Every structure is written in C-alpha cells, then in structure tokens.
Amino acid sequence: MSDQIRVMVVDDHPMWRDAVERDLTAAGFVVVATAATGTEAINRFQATRPQVVVLDLQIPEPSGVEVTASVLATDPSSRVLILSASGEQDDVLAAVKAGATGYLVKSASGAELVAAVQRVAEGDSVFTPGLAALVLGEFRRMNEPSTPPGEKLTERETEILKMVAKGMSYKQIAERLVLSHRTVQNHVQNTLRKLQMHNRVELTRYAIEQGLDD
C-alpha cells in the first residue's frame, strides 16, 4: 500500500485486539494506537488522529456508539468501522445513526476485515451481508422524502447515486459504467456539492429517502 492508512483498534479483549492489529499491520496499514475502553479510545483518537477507527461496540464506558459520535464530532473526515460480536438490529442501527460507515461481525475473516478497512478509508460503506438491507430499510422508514436543495443532478449523477444507494463500491460502479474510478469519484463529489452534503453516508441516506435504491 503506497499511501499508508492510519488505523486505531479499540477492543477490551487483549488477544482479539492484538490479532486485529497484527492482521492490519501485515496488510500494510499503520496502527497508530490501540485502546481497551471508550475513554482511552477518545483520548488516543485526539492524540493520533487515525483515518479509520476499528471499534468494538461492547467496551467499558463510554460505549462504542458514544465513541463513534465523539470521534466524528472531533474529526468528521474520519471513518468508523464497527467490529462487533453482535449482529443485533438495534446495535447496528445505533452505530450507523452515530455515524459508523461500516459494520462487520467478528465471524468475518482477516481478509474481509482488511478489505473493509480499505473500502471504508476510501469512503465506501461496508456491512456484513444481511445487515446492509436492514440499515437501508430502517433509513427508508425513518425518513420522509425531502426535496434536495441546490442544483439539479444530471442523468449520470442520478445513475451513480442509485448505485451508491444499492451499496456498490466506486470500483464496481466504474466497472459497470465503463468509467475510471476517478470519474466516478468526481461525479459523487459534484453530487455531494449540489445536495450540500458532506460524505457518502449522508448521500446514501438521501438516495434511500428518495427511493433510488429500488
């Protein structure tokens, strides 16, 4: 990995935390900090400013959900990937509402974890299979359709937005539309600007509100 991604690993089980750190380091990520509690996580995040936080939900207080909200309030450009033993609906939705852009259950393989950290760092949303539909369905239920502010989207921007809503990665969208990865990113950036949004999670939420994931 030429441009090394800075990661913090938060888990109160030392063996699990060490294993995750080992896998990520072996894959070329730079683990800048580890933490065992919510308080440690928040303090070390502020000190090291990792790009991605790999976070267990069930940690000594404050909880993983509170840590997620705190981390993103400190640095909205950071990404939080939940790695939890729980696949319970309430846990997943609480994490996503707090701003997490990924959620893996701990049965995921080392390779799946490495791929998820890479994708989350690039701005993608990553969910353990089965959880994505749950999250999308909940956002649709929570939000009434709203009128977008600002400029009208082009047909291509709307087309890409629909694919984002379905959980496709930029790479998959580029392959489907025979475009470069950079071109897809540019379209997404233009769409964010027009809709006055800040990241892919907000964009996905908006697309679902509009029913574009059907």
Residues ≥6 apart with Cβ < 8 Å to 122: 169, 170
* pLDDT at residue 87 in the model: 62
pLDDT over 70 at 85, yes or no = yes
CATH number for position 26? 3.40.50.2300
> Residue written as tokens 């259950």?
105
**25 and 86 share one domain:** yes
Q: Kindly state whether residues 126 and 159 are assigned to the same domain.
A: no
User: What is the CATH number for 203?
Assistant: 1.10.10.10
Q: Please identify, among 138, 157, 182, the residue that sits at the C-terminal boundary of a domain.
A: 138
Task: Report helix, strand or coil for 214.
Answer: coil
At 161 the pLDDT is 85
- Nearest one of 62, 65, 124 to 93, comparing CA atoms: 65
**Is pLDDT at 131 greater than 70 in this prediction?**
no
Mean pLDDT, residues 134-156: 60
Q: Give CA–CA dist 117/136, Å, rounded.
A: 21
Both 122 and 160 in one domain: the answer is: no
Q: How many CA atoms lie within 13 A of 94 on its CB side?
A: 14
Q: What are the CA-CA distances from residue 210 to residues 3, 145, 147, 187 (Å)?
A: 36, 5, 9, 18
Question: How many independent structural domains does the chain possess?
Answer: 2
Q: How confident is the model at residue 144 (pLDDT cuts 50, 70, 90)?
A: very low
What is the structure's pLDDT at 138?
Answer: 58
Answer yes or no: is pLDDT of 129 > 70: no
Mean pLDDT score, 162-189 = 86
Of 14-28, 47-61, 91-105, the range with the lowest mean pLDDT is 91-105
Which of 106, 104, 119, 101 has the alpha carbon at shortest distance from 204? 101
**2's tokens:** 């030429």
The β-bridge partners of 33 are 8
d(CA 191, CA 155): 11
pLDDT of residue 24: 92
Q: Residue 112, CB half-sphere, CA atoms under 13 Å: how many? A: 14
Same domain, 150 and 124: no
On whether residue 1 sits in a domain, the answer given is no
Q: Which of 115, 138, 161 is the last residue of a domain?
A: 138
pLDDT at 1 over 60: no
**Residue 45 sits in the same domain as residue 108:** yes
- The answer on 74 and 10 residing in a single domain is yes
Same structural domain, 60 and 157 = no
Please say whether the beta carbons of 108 and 126 come within 8 A.
Answer: no
Mean pLDDT of 43-47: 89
Q: Note down the domain range covering 154.
A: 145-209
Q: Are residues 18 and 94 in the same domain?
A: yes
| pLDDT for position 147 | 45
